[in-house]
């Protein structure tokens, strides 16, 4: 049985005080929920204070990116070791905004994934096709490339620390959610890929989150699909009550 995991990706939003206020509001709304793993992912500058506010709660914390070195002359980058130091258990890697706005490649993401896992972080690894790729019949080819190249070389033990987030780019921040059937089709395809590459045990155990305009109103029908194991939530995660509504819908 795969435990549902719901993460809020706050993207480039919230000053320190706003981040802390959001988790202070969230804590009582999800207190006692133990059937869902809950993660919030603030900006780097809010991590330390947010981690302090989350201490002792059932909410974990993730960063939105991490680099491939532990320290050194890499101006502007952040090491996984530094994220662990401020209380992160997780990092998001391969978000579509990093792939398509910041130009991160499958090979670079594979390097980031290995480095983060070896440092002791768990990873939400994002994949997903653009609208033109879906309309051009390329969805399966894109997911195949992103999984094959992005997760190359992972061991069975490393896979226990990885969650896949399927986020069709056309559904991110657009209000246009994938239908439960579309999500299930892509998730089942992705699980099949993992099975072919890494075997049935890894494929059965790995959790696949859906992301793209998830809200309280559509969470229940999406999570009801057998291959949908959680959510990566953007816009609706910014407010404690709308994020808690998604957690409750899935709990
Ligand atoms: P959204 O973002 O929920 O606002 O569509 C999801 C994401 O980018 O992780």
Q: Find the 232 Cα to ligand 1 centroid distance in Å.
A: 7
Regions of the chain where pLDDT drops below 50 = none
Query: What are the extents of the domains in the chain?
Result: 4-250
The reported pLDDT for the residue numbered 39 is 98
Q: Find the 125 Cα to ligand 1 centroid distance in Å.
A: 14
172 lines ligand 1 (CB under 6 A): yes
Residue 72, both tokens: 């050194």
The reported pLDDT for the residue numbered 94 is 98
Please name the residue whose Cα sits nearest to atom 2 of ligand 1.
234
The reported pLDDT for the residue numbered 235 is 97
The reported pLDDT for the residue numbered 177 is 92
Report the C-alpha gap between 33 and 90 in whole angstroms. Answer: 19
Report the C-alpha gap between 198 and 156 in whole angstroms. Answer: 8
Report the C-alpha gap between 208 and 222 in whole angstroms. Answer: 12
Active site residue 95: yes
199 lines ligand 1 (CB under 6 A): no
Contact criterion met (CB below 8 Å) for 156 and 206: no
Q: Please classify residue 65 by burial: count the beta carbons closer than 10 Å to its beta carbon, then call 0-12 exposed, 13-18 middle and 19+ buried.
A: buried
Report the C-alpha gap between 229 and 126 in whole angstroms. Answer: 14
The pLDDT tens digits for 214-249 are 999 999 999 999 999 999 999 999 999 999 999 999
Residue 191, both tokens: 């699980």
Residue 95, both tokens: 């978000």
- Angle between helix axes 44-54 and 16-30 (nearest 10 degrees) is 40
The reported pLDDT for the residue numbered 144 is 98
Residue 96, both tokens: 């579509």
The reported pLDDT for the residue numbered 27 is 98
Domain boundaries 4-250, corresponding CATH code: 3.20.20.70
- Cα angle 192, 195, 198; round to 5: 145
Q: What is the pTM of this model?
A: 0.98
Catalytic residue among 37, 129, 167, 184: 167
The reported pLDDT for the residue numbered 251 is 93
């Amino acid at each position: 049985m795969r435990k549902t995991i719901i993460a809020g990706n706050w993207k480039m939003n919230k000053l320190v005080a706003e981040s802390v206020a959001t988790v202070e509001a969230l804590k009582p709304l999800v207190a006692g929920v133990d059937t869902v793993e809950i993660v919030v992912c603030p900006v780097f500058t809010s991590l330390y204070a947010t981690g302090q506010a989350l201490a002792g709660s059932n909410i974990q914390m993730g960063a939105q990116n991490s680099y491939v070195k532990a320290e050194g002359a890499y101006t502007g980058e952040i090491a996984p070791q530094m994220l662990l130091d401020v209380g992160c258990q997780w990092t998001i890697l391969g978000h579509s905004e990093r792939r398509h706005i910041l130009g991160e490649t499958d090979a670079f993401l594979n390097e980031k994934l290995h480095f983060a896992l070896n440092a002791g972080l768990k990873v939400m690894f994002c994949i997903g096709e653009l609208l033109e790729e879906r309309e051009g019949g390329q969805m399966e080819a894109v997911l195949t490339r992103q999984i094959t190249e992005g997760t190359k070389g992972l061991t069975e033990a490393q896979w226990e620390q990885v969650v896949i987030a399927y986020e069709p780019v056309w559904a991110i921040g657009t209000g246009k959610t994938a239908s439960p059937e579309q999500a299930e089709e892509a998730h089942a395809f992705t699980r099949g890929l993992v099975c072919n590459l890494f075997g049935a045990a890894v494929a059965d155990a790995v959790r696949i989150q859906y992301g793209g305009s998830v809200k309280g109103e559509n969470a229940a029908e999406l999570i009801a699909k057998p291959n949908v194991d959680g959510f990566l939530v953007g816009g609706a995660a910014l407010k404690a009550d709308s994020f808690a509504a998604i957690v409750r819908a899935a709990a």
